[in-house]
A and B are shown apart, each in its own frame.
Chain A
Amino acid sequence: MLPMFEVFGIPSQALFGQLLLGLINGSFYALLSLGLAVIFGMLNIINFTHGAQYMMGAFAAFLLLRYVGIGYWPALVIVPFIVGVTGIVIERLFLKRIQKLDHLYGLILTFGLALIIEGLFRNYYGSSGQPYGVPESLQGGRNLGFMFLPNYRAWVIAFSLAVCFATWFAIERTRLGSYLRAATENPALVRAFGVNVPRMVTLTYGFGVGLAGLAGVMAAPIYNVSPQMGSDIIIVVFAVVVIGGMGSIMGAIVTGFTLGIVEGLTKVFFPEASNTVIFVIMIVVLLVRPAGLFGRSA
């Protein structure tokens, strides 16, 4: 049993519980902002479709279960692949053509696509959402003394930490990653070395989008699977990316988890402000460090 003490009138047990919950929400922020950071860092595209792609991930998991009978675990592998492929199609059809234009064009294009995708899903499945349960093997939970931790949430933290670290490692510490980073800095030179840069760009976008799909599958058992689930979370995730520094992989991961905790604590001390606190932080960070906490100033 942990020692009991109080912080601002909140018992320590409740506080530890909220910290842990914040970390869980932070895992989703981290996973989503990671995808955004990869796409922005490598392609210089502000991918506003990310929320819709996260929603597609959750819906794909639901559709696989309902119509094909494929459960959570296979979906965890299949869905990011499917969603990633749709991303590749989008890149080939649209994004490739506006690569040389200003950021703003990509932003408007992806925002429009997000609205279309969301509208299509709403048209076919309505707005109230679809049921999706926690997988059998992760049902139940354990009592940690200060809170009841559902097994599924524990899995979410562990798995997303692993995915985040693997992605960071792949981009910052491997040969493939160094090609990628080099291609961002100077595509012409990298091409001169015989690297197929356009294909690499396409695959990177597909990978970032696949991460969004993966986050969607992980969210399906705990959040309501509805067409607007993406737009609910994407604004927050963008704030996370801006605070962390656009394009910084480590920045996205660390800020994702940290802001999850900050938001969790706000839900205890001043619940009404819980959906604005991240934006307040964003404003402060932009005033003090315009490039973000981990960003390199241009």
Chain B
Amino acid sequence: MRLTTTVAFAAVALFGTAAQAEDINVKLGVLNDMSSLYADISGPGSVIAAKLAVEDFNPAAHGMKVEIISADHQNKPDVGSNIARQWFDVDHVDAILDVPTSSVALAVSDVTREKNKVFLISGAASSDLTGPKCSPNSVHWTYDTWMLANGTGKALVKTGGDTWFFLTADYAFGHALEHDTAAVVTANGGKVLGAVDHPLNTQDFSSFLLQAQASKAKIIGLANAGGDTINSIKQGAEFGITAGGQQFAGLLVFVTDVQALGLKTAQGLVLTETWYWDMNDANRAWTKRWQAERQDGKFPSMVVAGVYSATLHYLKAVAALKSAADGKAVVNQMKAMPTDDPLFGKGYVRTDGRKIHPAYLFQVKKPEESKYAGDVYNLRATIPAEEAFRPMKDDNCPMVTN
């Protein structure tokens, strides 16, 4: 009796230390714009989302330890790739999260592949990330330019908006968005009358708006984001663009942008998102938790929701493999397991690294329709998961074709 107890104790002690020693350490790095035009879309909000995901995953129950660090890439590809390199080489980061601004994301993707780590993309939009520039080390989670173009572009052409003029932000994302939307417009029988490229972070859009006005296009497609989109729409209202019968298509509009514009200016705008905080009870409950951390009354964008969802799935994959060391293996595991979380529901990750879920076509409410803070969208249509993203055969992704 006494002997067995001692043995049992010893065994427990042994197992205990063994389990401790085998604790899987995972380090996540949230890399995004913390201080400039995309900071409200992602920024500190994404860090909170990642924290909530870790909390819900409960690493201790899986014998894991998860640490989150964050940094500001200032929307500069060189800054972004330098931080990524330092994180992988010096700080032993296993996965980089978020990374809005497509040009930075493309740079970080290259570094991640070289170091065989994991890149969970939520903030960046360029569909090239699962197209010609696809990588076995990346999962592109929340949305992309093809999906935005397909959602908003198709809906508007089908309802009579068959001539387009683009205001395009002059960098990777803007060009990708314009290119993808133009393809959708022409494929559905519409016509592109022209486009003008404006520098990123422009204050005054009146010159560009007059050019758009002169084109007589029915739809002015805004292939830009954040402050640029806000300034375009605000000044467009002033120049009588909408009053003159032309309509804006916000190709990438976030809930935070709508609040910055105010419903009076933004009303009627049609846009596509994959997640809206007020869609169902699960989203609302999560939003409450997120806002409690954030404490400034802002509402979470689809980007931060995507960071949550991607982090959760990544941690599940690491738990299944019992290791985060081999980035490619973790991503393969993420592709092998179906996804399931409170915010995006059930879905999956495709061979090209594209996460698949439905997309939603929203229209911004009139001021009198909005009943409480953040009540900004009417749901116009749901685009089923199978149709929301670019079919793999059109990817030109080397991983798929070979």
Contacts and interface: CB of A to CB of B under 8 A. Distances in A.
Interface of A: 14, 17-18, 21-22, 24-25, 119, 122, 124-131, 133-134, 140-141, 147-148, 150, 152-153, 221-224, 226, 228-229, 232-233, 264, 267-268, 271-272, 274-275
Contacts of B203: 223, 229, 232-233
27 contacts: A21-B206, A22-B207, A24-B206, A25-B204, A126-B256, A126-B296, A127-B36, A127-B38, A128-B37, A128-B40, A128-B227, A128-B230, A128-B257, A131-B261, A133-B265, A134-B238, A147-B210, A148-B213, A153-B238, A223-B234, A224-B234, A267-B198, A271-B170, A271-B208, A272-B199, A274-B202, A275-B199
A14 B234 CA distance: 21
B230 A224 contact: yes
A133 B262 contact: yes
A222 B208 contact: no
Contacts of A24: 206
Interface of B: 35-41, 43, 170, 196-199, 201-204, 206-208, 210-211, 213-214, 226-227, 230-231, 234-235, 238-240, 244, 254, 256-257, 259-262, 264-265, 296, 298
B18 to A, nearest CB: 46
Contacts of A130: 260
A222 B234 contact: yes
Given A150-B239, A272-B197, 10 more contacts: A21-B210, A128-B40, A128-B256, A129-B260, A153-B238, A226-B37, A232-B203, A267-B198, A271-B208, A272-B199
Contact of A224 (B214, B254, B260): B260
A277 to B, nearest CB: 11
A274 B210 contact: no
A81 to B, nearest CB: 25
Contacts of B296: 124-126
Given A128-B260, A224-B231, A264-B207, A271 B226 contact: no
A-B CB proximity, top 5 nearest: A131-B262, A267-B207, A128-B40, A129-B260, A127-B39
Nearest to A13: B214
A119 B197 CA distance: 30
A21 B207 contact: yes
A148 B240 contact: yes
B198 A274 contact: yes
Contacts of B170: 271-272
Nearest to A125: B296
A128 B214 CA distance: 30
A108 B203 CA distance: 26
B206 to A, nearest CB: 5
A197 to B, nearest CB: 38
A227 to B, nearest CB: 9
A222 B238 contact: yes
B201 A141 contact: no
A128 B259 contact: yes
B309 to A, nearest CB: 22
Nearest to B198: A271
A229 B37 CA distance: 10
Nearest to B294: A126
Given A272-B170, A274-B198, A148 B239 contact: yes
A127 B199 contact: no
A128 B234 CA distance: 13
Nearest to B45: A126
Among A21, A131, A147, which residue has the most Cβ atoms of chain B within 10 A? A131
A221 B234 CA distance: 8
A148 B209 CA distance: 11
A122 B298 contact: no
A195 to B, nearest CB: 40
Nearest to B204: A25
B290 to A, nearest CB: 14
Contacts of A22: 207
A224 B227 contact: yes
Nearest to A224: B230
